[in-house]
Amino acid sequence: MCGFTGEYLLQPDAAIGIGEHALRAERLRHRGPDACGSWNDDRLEMHHVRLKLLDPEHGLQPMQSGRGTVLSYNGEIYNNTELRAELTAYGCQFRTRSDTEVLLAAYDTWGEQAWERLNGMFAFALYDPARTKLYLVRDRLGIKPLFYRVTSRGLEFGSEPGAWDFSGAAHTALDPAGVIHFLRFAQPAFGGRSVYRDLRILDPGRQLTAADDGITVKRWHRPEESCASRETAGEAELRGYLRHLLHLAVGRQMIADAPVGVFLSGGMDSAILVGLLAQMRPEPPTTFTIALEGDEEDLLAARTVAKRWHCRHHELVITADEFFAGMAELIAIRQVPLSFPNEVLIYLLAKKAASQVKAVLTGEGADELFGGYTRIIGLLETYARAKEAADSGNPLLFRSLKAQWPLLDLSSDARFFISAYSWFKSEDIQGLLTDSYRHQWQPEKEERIFTEMLDSFSGHPLLHRYFMLLEYLHLPNLLSRLDGATMAASLEGRVPYTDTDLVRYVTCLPTHLKYIAGREDKPLLRRVFADIVPPTVLERPKRAFNASLEHLFASRPGQKHLAELRGNRQLLELVNCESLDTWTNGNGSVRCPLRSWLLLSLGMWLNRNIL
């Protein structure tokens, strides 16, 4: 919906650089091309750019309440109508239909307890001058991003790394730990760190408070406190309630004063959204799909869904040249290396869709909630079953796994997850990095992140805790990817599968309803929505927008980009040349296309952003 940037001074006698922050906001105009606004006093300056989706004539930000509270906000509050009615009963009066005003009134009424009442996606900066406090707050799953820097003057914040000018200044030095996390887990922001040394990301479900006594960060959302694993009354009741929750989520997320479409990948998750939308509205859905030239299987599946529901359907077929040009554009806008190649497809499709709609529904979140990653979940389920048997006095299966999985670390629950989840394994990193960077890798700190999260879910079976790791550690990266790729094209991505009520319910379901060993992925979702998804689509394996790396790297531009890595001075300071050749030349059986992609993405980002 928007973007914002600003600075809060912990030293009131310092001077705010108004011109500098206005320039930062201008660098975020792709997030909000429709309007801009600013607010400042002697402690705080905020700038906001707006993509108009709700109450376009009003809702200008930053917005100030009658009590003086100031808000700059990015996102959507989907229970806006219900909260407005509740707040009206408390005596609040509203001048606009915007959810921004509702969020302000919620804080003025309930204080920090307001965040837990919100169903939506949001990242915001809220200033309470009466208490001399600035709050930075991010939603439960990290759908909307929020970055910050602590300086000698105070606190700078913004919606994207692109708000800051990283060309040539001292603080552009990369963060070795952040870069290694990117190579390990395909996440440019992980554990609160980014790939820039002094630029932090506020983790999902966190609140940063800046006040005269300093800066603190705390969790405002604790999923483990709202979830008790439970059996359900009956499968028919479960199916009906699940369908009801997703139906409500789609309806909530279609609310807008501008056109909303759907990204249709040819997979089950987006097909369900289209089917639900077609059933609840008289007008046919507007759908969009994309494919690489020569790899157009997804187009056929998407057409099948579009034909069934009489959609206003749009297709985009791109060449390898267009793909790599889009990759360079997106890195320049986002100023981070890209995690996965379909991020480029999302961006290019968003550019096309933005000429017709202001927002799109997408299928992100279904895999993490319903068990879509059969490879890794299969490993986790087998390990968890063996571990629980060993804890009960039967170690035979666990011992056999050590022989079957020599490359996986079975020495602890966290280490096993890391070894199954990471792209560059521990031994790969040791050989990949140059001496100066190898010594800066701190695997014990990396492990601590996973261990603390697993421990926070204690009381649940181990496989359930692993599911929650995927939901609260893996999913935020995919959601940030979606936000960055769509907002780079001035289009908002909305994600019904992350609806607060739906997530709260599905997260607490026992894992045997989400994963059946040796069977298809997402069995519960398939059974509940089999009537609205064409059988040929329902039977397909899991699909996002597919960018075949084998096809891309075999193309002329792909070969050219891989070859250029060997002359990338910035990358070779980080990665030793022999290892680079191993992963990008395809020698023998060790080559993994995704690892080659991570190195290419990192190299292109370094070339542009690090001097």
Instruction: Please determine, for residue 168, whether its predicted confidence score (pLDDT) is greater than 60.
Output: no
Q: Is the peptide bond before 406 cis (omega within 30 degrees of 0)?
A: no
Kindly report which listed range (8-17, 70-79, 164-173, 394-403) carries the lowest average pLDDT score.
164-173
Cα-based torsion angle of the residue sequence 176, 177, 183, 185 in order, rounded to the nearest 10 degrees: -170
- pLDDT computed for residue 542 by the predictor: 75
Please answer whether residues 599 and 584 qualify as being in contact, where contact means their C-beta atoms are separated by less than 8 angstroms: yes
- pLDDT computed for residue 592 by the predictor: 83
Q: Among residues of the chain, what percentage have pLDDT more than 70?
A: 95
Cα-based torsion angle of the residue sequence 432, 433, 438, 443 in order, rounded to the nearest 10 degrees: -50
Instruction: Please determine, for residue 408, whether its predicted confidence score (pLDDT) is greater than 90.
Output: yes
Instruction: Please determine, for residue 587, whether its predicted confidence score (pLDDT) is greater than 50.
Output: no
- pLDDT computed for residue 181 by the predictor: 95
Model confidence band, residue 171 (pLDDT cutoffs 50, 70, 90): very low
Q: Are strands 70-77 and 120-128 parallel, antiparallel or unpaired?
A: antiparallel
- pLDDT computed for residue 589 by the predictor: 34
Those residues with Cβ within 8 angstroms of residue 273's Cβ, 6 or more apart along the chain or in another chain: 250, 262, 361, 362, 363, 496
Instruction: Please determine, for residue 115, whether its predicted confidence score (pLDDT) is greater than 70.
Output: yes
Please answer whether residues 573 and 610 qualify as being in contact, where contact means their C-beta atoms are separated by less than 8 angstroms: no
Instruction: Please determine, for residue 487, whether its predicted confidence score (pLDDT) is greater than 90.
Output: yes
Instruction: Please determine, for residue 126, whether its predicted confidence score (pLDDT) is greater than 90.
Output: yes
- pLDDT computed for residue 170 by the predictor: 41
Instruction: Please determine, for residue 146, whether its predicted confidence score (pLDDT) is greater than 60.
Output: yes
DSSP string covering 490-533, please? T-EEE-GGG-HHHHHHHHTS-GGGT--TTS-S-HHHHHHTTTTS
Cα-based torsion angle of the residue sequence 60, 66, 72, 76 in order, rounded to the nearest 10 degrees: -80
Q: What is the pLDDT of residues 530-581, one digit of tens each?
A: 999 999 999 887 777 888 899 999 999 999 999 999 999 999 999 998 888 8
Q: Among residues of the chain, what percentage have pLDDT more than 90?
A: 78
The structure tokens listed for 222 are: 């604790």
Q: Can you tell me the distance from the alpha carbon of 549 to that of 464, in angstroms, rounded to the nearest whole number?
A: 32
Instruction: Please determine, for residue 588, whether its predicted confidence score (pLDDT) is greater than 50.
Output: no
DSSP string covering 42-60, please? SSEEEEEEE---SSTTS--
Surface-to-core class of residue 560, CB atoms within 10 Å of its CB (0-12 exposed, 13-18 middle, 19+ buried):
exposed
Q: What is the pLDDT of residues 346-381, one digit of tens each?
A: 999 999 999 999 999 999 999 999 999 999 999 999
Of 82, 72, 7, the C-alpha closest to 43 is 7
Q: Can you tell me the distance from the alpha carbon of 166 to that of 196, in angstroms, rounded to the nearest whole number?
A: 9
The structure tokens listed for 243 are: 């369908």
Q: What is the pLDDT of residues 218-246, one digit of tens each?
A: 999 988 766 654 555 577 889 999 999 99
Question: No. of H helices and E strands in the chain?
Answer: 26, 19
The structure tokens listed for 520 are: 């298809």
Q: Which domains does the chain have, with CATH numbers?
A: 2-164+199-221 (3.60.20.10), 229-370+473-538 (3.40.50.620)
Q: What is the pLDDT of residues 262-301, one digit of tens each?
A: 999 999 999 999 999 999 999 999 999 999 998 888 999 9
The residue to which tokens 């996002």 are assigned: 544
- pLDDT computed for residue 16 by the predictor: 64
Q: Can you tell me the distance from the alpha carbon of 535 to that of 549, in angstroms, rounded to the nearest whole number?
A: 28
Q: What is the largest CA-CA distance in the chain?
A: 71
- pLDDT computed for residue 591 by the predictor: 65
Model confidence band, residue 91 (pLDDT cutoffs 50, 70, 90): very high
The residue to which tokens 């299966």 are assigned: 397
Instruction: Please determine, for residue 498, whether its predicted confidence score (pLDDT) is greater than 60.
Output: yes
Higher pLDDT, 496 or 392: 496
Tally of CA atoms within 13 A in the half-sphere of 145 that contains its CB = 35
Higher pLDDT, 393 or 261: 261
Residue-averaged pLDDT of the chain: 92
